[in-house]
Chains A and B, each alone.
Chain A
Amino acid sequence: MSELGPRARALIEATRSADDPTPAEAERVRGTIQARIAIGAGTVMASAAVVTTTGNAAAAPTVVAVATAAWVKVAAGVVVACAVATGAGVVAMSSSNGAGATRAASPASAVASARAASTPARGPSMAPVPVAAPVAALAPGDPPAAAIAPSAAIALPIVPVAPTPSAVPPRPQAAIAAFPTAATPRAATPVAATPTAPAGAAPTPTAFNAGATAATAPIALDSALDHEIALLSVARSELREGDPSGALTVLHDAAQRFPNGPLAEDRAAETVFALCALGRSSEARSEAARLLAEHPRSPHAAAVRESCGGPNGSPNP
């Protein structure tokens, strides 16, 4: 290997760390990333609840519940996410057990009920907490389909829930401030639960829970990457919930919006799994072959090979 000459080496040596961020820059970006992660993680979590809700579309008279467009699901998920991340820092899982509870009514109580009905204590870090998050509905009364333009920034009202022992005091940038910092023992934070509205009480889908006292702040979901992540999350949830064709629709939609997005590889893997779940193994095989050819070292490679689309996979998933 030819080496660089002394002058070039000296230049590199002298400027090696010139492109480092300043500590202030690194810290600022860290805060923003945490806020975005809070949104993204909550989106994943909440999308399950929303998918559940849509399953009861006829019974649940709410903006969110009647919405079936993926984007509306995403948006609804994010609303829930923010409420949870903001108020509690504890993520409780919804489960399909919550389906009945979603009939209760408003998005807020529907999601809260779904969560309350979920199996508690999933792991060592998951305290069995009933979570009832005051959730702001997206422009109640608006036609769901028109609620969100795909490329538009989504402004989300955030309502922190009632005080917790380690509650982070509200700061102007609510989303960032409320996201628990590394020093906060978030996993064990007990949540002051708002009693879930009883089924049948059917509160209207108002924008804010009356019990919420803290200030609200908008957070914008304006990054293409956030959208891409949200769509992938929805697809995964649908697949998990046993709706592979719904998942495929979302994956297809996402692939059209973000053909070269950084998550294209993840999407391709999910597509293989969804096709397998539908028994469309020849399509799964060609999708898998393409993925494996383009990304032989993909973290999904092993799972894809084992799926019905892979060389090792069984024809029946």
Chain B
Amino acid sequence: MTASHANDRPILQAAAGPNGGAQLGAAIPAIATDDAFDRIYRDHVRFVWRCVRRLGVDDSSVEDVVQDAFVVVHRRLGEFEGRSTTRTWLYGIVRRVVADHRRTRRRKPLHLVEHPHEETDVATTGDAHSDAERSEQVALMRRVLARLSDEKREVLVLADFEEMTMSEIAEATDTNPNTVASRLRAARREFEAALDDEMRVASCVEAAGTRRSRR
């Protein structure tokens, strides 16, 4: 995306300030950035989508939030100057759109949102047994993530699911790197603890079910 992006920049910057804006205005970006935008969409829609979901946006709103995020991306394409990676830049937009979405919808804090255990859009493999197992894992992952605070979930998702570096996360979340590091440590501890807990609950439920069926 770099090549065409570099070409777009002067045009788009014209819209950013009063001086450049006097020449062309912001009408042209719609055309000039389409290639760059298409590429970004194609390459990163999955990343954006995952992040939106994992930040806890409920299933019914995921598409709307992804849309909003990309509309902002399109709008800001010319301001992306390669100082960050595309993903850190995109994530910065995603988190703000998600925050905005929560504010406007007056949503419950994320850790209070119940994720339905059975509703997972997992690609099927055709093997009923492994599909069921995978759905169970996804549900478990969501439950565990949902128990983390927003801040910790964010940093853990970026580090361990998206495999971003500390400095990328710091940039993407506009947070001091030391804060990111300590937050990630705490997040991982909590993730482990929550996983333990969920497994214990699951095994109790299973044991209870077994006892019931024996009777």
Q: Are B25 and A187 touching (Cβ within 8 A)?
A: no
**Of the candidates A25, A225, A307, which one forms a contact with B72 in the assembled complex, judged by CB atoms under 8 Å apart?**
A225
Q: Are A15 and B137 touching (Cβ within 8 A)?
A: yes
Given contacts A48-B25, A261-B100, contact A30 B30 (CB under 8 A): no
**Of the candidates A29, A33, A48, A273, which one forms a contact with B18 in the assembled complex, judged by CB atoms under 8 Å apart?**
A273
Q: Are B71 and A29 touching (Cβ within 8 A)?
A: no
Within 8 A of A (CB), among B60-109: 63-64, 66-68, 70-72, 74-76, 79-81, 83, 93, 96-97, 99-100, 103-104
Most chain-B CB neighbours within 10 Å: which of A17, A240, A297? A240
State A280–B189 Cα separation when bound (angstroms): 52
State A63–B163 Cα separation when bound (angstroms): 55
Q: Are A33 and B71 touching (Cβ within 8 A)?
A: yes
Q: Are A262 and B137 touching (Cβ within 8 A)?
A: no
Measured between beta carbons, the chain B residues less than 8 angstroms from A3 are 188
A210 within 8 A of B: no
State A42–B27 Cα separation when bound (angstroms): 7
CB distance from B45 to the nearest CB of A (A): 5
B181 within 8 A of A: yes
Q: Are B188 and A40 touching (Cβ within 8 A)?
A: no
A224 within 8 A of B: yes
Residue of A nearest to B163 (CB): A16
A236 within 8 A of B: yes
Measured between beta carbons, the chain B residues less than 8 angstroms from A226 are 71
Measured between beta carbons, the chain B residues less than 8 angstroms from A4 are 160, 188, 191-192
Within 8 A of B (CB), among A1-33: 1-5, 7-9, 11-12, 14-22, 25-26, 28-30, 32-33
B150 within 8 A of A: no
* Residue total for B at the interface (Cβ-Cβ under 8 A): 72
Measured between beta carbons, the chain B residues less than 8 angstroms from A229 are 71, 75
State A28–B160 Cα separation when bound (angstroms): 29
Q: Are B79 and A300 touching (Cβ within 8 A)?
A: yes
CB distance from B76 to the nearest CB of A (A): 7
Given contacts A4-B160, A29-B45, contact A262 B25 (CB under 8 A): no
State A262–B74 Cα separation when bound (angstroms): 13
Convert A184-201 into 0s and 1s, putting 1 for each residue whose CB lies closer than 8 angstroms to a CB of B: 001100000000000000
Count: A-B pairs, CB below 8 Å: 188
Stretch from A65-73, A98-106, A118-126 at the B interface: A118-126
B164 within 8 A of A: no
Measured between beta carbons, the chain B residues less than 8 angstroms from A139 are none
Q: Interface majority SS on B: helix, strand, loop or mixed?
A: helix
Given contacts A14-B137, A262-B100, contact A32 B27 (CB under 8 A): no
State A60–B184 Cα separation when bound (angstroms): 62
Convert B140-157 into 0s and 1s, putting 1 for each residue whose CB lies closer than 8 angstroms to a CB of A: 110010000000000000
Q: Are A21 and B80 touching (Cβ within 8 A)?
A: no
A268 within 8 A of B: no
Residue of B nearest to A5 (CB): B192
Q: Are B67 and A240 touching (Cβ within 8 A)?
A: no
State A295–B76 Cα separation when bound (angstroms): 15
A138 within 8 A of B: no
Given contacts A2-B188, A30-B41, A263-B72, contact A44 B81 (CB under 8 A): no
A182 within 8 A of B: yes
B122 within 8 A of A: yes
Q: Are B71 and A277 touching (Cβ within 8 A)?
A: no
Measured between beta carbons, the chain B residues less than 8 angstroms from A33 are 41, 67, 70-71, 74
Measured between beta carbons, the chain A residues less than 8 angstroms from B111 are none
Q: Are B71 and A93 touching (Cβ within 8 A)?
A: no
With A38-B30, A236-B15 known, 9 other A-B pairs at CB within 8 A are: A17-B46, A37-B74, A44-B25, A45-B30, A123-B11, A125-B28, A225-B72, A299-B76, A317-B18
The 7 closest A-B pairs by CB, nearest first: A41-B30, A45-B27, A299-B79, A19-B53, A44-B26, A15-B141, A19-B50
Of the A-B pairs whose beta carbons lie under 8 Å apart in the complex, a sample of 6, sorted by A's number, is: A12-B161, A17-B50, A91-B28, A93-B24, A262-B97, A303-B17
Contact surface of B with A, Cβ cutoff 8 Å: 11, 15-18, 21-22, 24-32, 34-35, 37-38, 41, 45-46, 49-50, 53-54, 63-64, 66-68, 70-72, 74-76, 79-81, 83, 93, 96-97, 99-100, 103-104, 120-123, 134, 137-138, 140-141, 144, 160-161, 166, 171, 174, 181, 184-185, 188-189, 191-192, 195
Contact surface of A with B, Cβ cutoff 8 Å: 1-5, 7-9, 11-12, 14-22, 25-26, 28-30, 32-33, 36-38, 40-42, 44-45, 48, 85, 90-91, 93, 122-123, 125-126, 182, 186-187, 223-226, 229, 233, 236-237, 239-240, 260-263, 269, 273-274, 276-277, 295, 297, 299-300, 303, 307, 317
